[in-house]
């Protein structure tokens, strides 16, 4: 994959495995990352640039919780359509089309790791100590990742 490693940013995007997994993304090739309803996560979504590297993380996956692959940003932030859909569970009556409260990006599948890096692996390796995802009680679903962490995880994933 032709990443532009000079300017790109790195992020971790979290999803419940049983809700939308890396296998689903591989099948779909591309998907709209919608339904984010947390302001901090939304702000990170809005900072994403086309071509940024995304670690795809499965939460609530029993002993398989962790980073399972990579995706990349193919469309930068736009208004999340689900906030205007009265039938959606994610409908937000206080959001207006003039000033949408929630954002989405489009992401494309890059790779599924041969060897997923589980949360327990990240917690046991001091190298990953300062990752946001290893912090106790962390509930953010979108978070920035350092290049050194991204690169190491990428390497471990393919080993």
Beta strand pairing call for 103-118 and 66-79: antiparallel
Minimal distance in Å, beta carbon 94 to DNA? 8
Minimal distance in Å, beta carbon 92 to DNA? 9
16 versus 24: smaller Cβ distance to DNA: 16
Give the footprint of DNA on this chain (CB under 7 A).
14, 16, 38-40, 59-62, 65, 119-120, 123, 135-141
62 versus 159: smaller Cβ distance to DNA: 62
Minimal distance in Å, beta carbon 67 to DNA? 11
103 versus 141: smaller Cβ distance to DNA: 141
Minimal distance in Å, beta carbon 60 to DNA? 5
């Amino acid at each position: 994959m032709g990443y532009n490693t000079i300017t790109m940013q790195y992020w971790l995007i979290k999803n419940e495995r049983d809700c939308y997994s890396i296998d689903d993304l591989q099948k779909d090739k591309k998907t709209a990352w919608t339904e984010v309803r947390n302001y901090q996560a939304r702000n990170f979504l809005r900072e994403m640039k086309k071509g940024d590297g995304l670690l795809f993380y499965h939460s609530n996956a029993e002993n398989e919780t962790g980073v399972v692959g990579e995706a990349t940003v193919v469309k930068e932030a736009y208004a999340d359509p689900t906030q205007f859909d009265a039938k959606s569970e994610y409908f937000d009556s206080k959001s207006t089309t003039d000033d949408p409260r929630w954002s989405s990006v489009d992401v494309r599948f890059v790779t599924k790791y041969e060897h997923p890096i589980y949360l327990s692996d990240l917690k046991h390796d001091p190298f990953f100590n300062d990752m946001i995802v290893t912090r106790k009680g962390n509930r953010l679903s979108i978070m920035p990742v350092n290049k050194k962490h991204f690169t190491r995880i990428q390497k471990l994933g393919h080993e």
